Amino acid sequence: MANITLRVDPERLKQTAEDLRLQAENARNAVVEIQRCTAQTQVYWEGGAGSYTRPRMDKECRNADKILSRMKGDPARLLTMAGIYQQAEQSNVQTAQALKINVID
């Protein structure tokens, strides 16, 4: 029989889900702030450099938004996995408790 050790437990999955949610939220807030700052440069940053850079920053922010929107579902998937692990653990405990202890006697 193979010796298998799972190094993930439901509580760790739940904590990781919350950490990931907070990190994605912070990253999204940072992207919004970058977009705001970039848009404000139109007032004082005129000419070719500003006209060249602002659209590039907008494109990068849109790309970041796409990545962050994909990441948004990850915490929910981790919580689902945690629930599956908890159910499996409960089922294993119930099965073990139902087994006879003194099989040899």
pTM: predicted TM-score of the whole model, two decimal places: 0.70
Return all residues near 82 (Cβ < 8 A) that are at least 6 apart: 10, 11, 13, 14, 17
- For residue 35, the SS3 value is helix
Class of domain 11-90: mainly alpha
Q: Give residue limits of the domains in the chain.
A: 11-90
Dump pLDDT digits (tens) for 30-80. Answer: 999 999 999 898 888 888 888 899 999 999 999 999 999 988 889 999 899
